[in-house]
């Protein structure tokens, strides 16, 4: 995709897109879709062959008069929610959103319990003279 984002037919043609493509809108939609090859880039930023194909598909859907929401839904229907660069919170991905927080809280709780358990020194009562003498007598018998 060209770095000069204009809506001119010349810029669209240079990118292999249909004439009259609104490049600003295309870049906006493409910025919300993940490149399925690169995975850490949007299809707006990626030059992978699949990203180019997906951008062209977005442009085609735009030329058919589809709204941004309809285009994104088309991509989700075809590739799953993974294609959305920032997927919405839903029941199916709730663990992915909440899981890290649960793990951090559980880790802190376990660490505090372990530290507290080590810090607790049981009270050992002092031996009386009679008990001390009995222990010493048993010790001497064992030698």
Low-confidence ranges of the chain (pLDDT < 50): 1-7
Cα–Cα distance for residue pair 72/16, rounded to 1 Å: 21
Q: Rg of the Cα trace of the chain?
A: 33
Tell me, yes or no, if the pTM score tops 0.75.
no
> Can you name the residues that pair with 34 across neighbouring β-strands?
42
Give, for 59, the enclosing helix (H) or strand (E): helix 49-63
- Model pLDDT, residue 15: 61
Cα–Cα distance for residue pair 143/135, rounded to 1 Å: 13
Cα–Cα distance for residue pair 6/2, rounded to 1 Å: 9
Per-domain residue ranges for the chain? 9-83, 90-121
Q: Tell me the CATH class for 9-83.
A: mainly alpha
Distances in whole angstroms, Cα of residue 87 to Cα of each of 48, 82, 100:
22, 7, 16
- Model pLDDT, residue 123: 76
- Model pLDDT, residue 53: 92
């Amino acid at each position: 995709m060209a770095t000069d984002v204009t809506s001119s037919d010349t810029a669209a043609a240079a990118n292999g897109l249909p004439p009259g493509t609104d490049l600003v809108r295309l870049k906006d939609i493409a910025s919300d879709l993940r490149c399925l090859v690169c995975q850490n880039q949007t299809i707006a930023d990626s030059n992978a062959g699949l990203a180019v194909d997906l951008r062209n598909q977005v442009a085609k859907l735009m030329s058919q008069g589809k709204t941004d929401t309809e285009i994104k839904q088309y991509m989700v229907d075809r590739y799953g929610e993974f294609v959305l660069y920032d997927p919405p919170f839903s029941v199916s991905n709730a663990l992915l959103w909440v899981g890290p927080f649960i793990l951090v809280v559980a880790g802190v709780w376990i660490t505090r319990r372990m530290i507290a358990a080590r810090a607790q020194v049981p009270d050992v009562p002092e031996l009386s003279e009679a008990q001390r003498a009995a222990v010493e007598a048993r010790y001497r018998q064992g030698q």
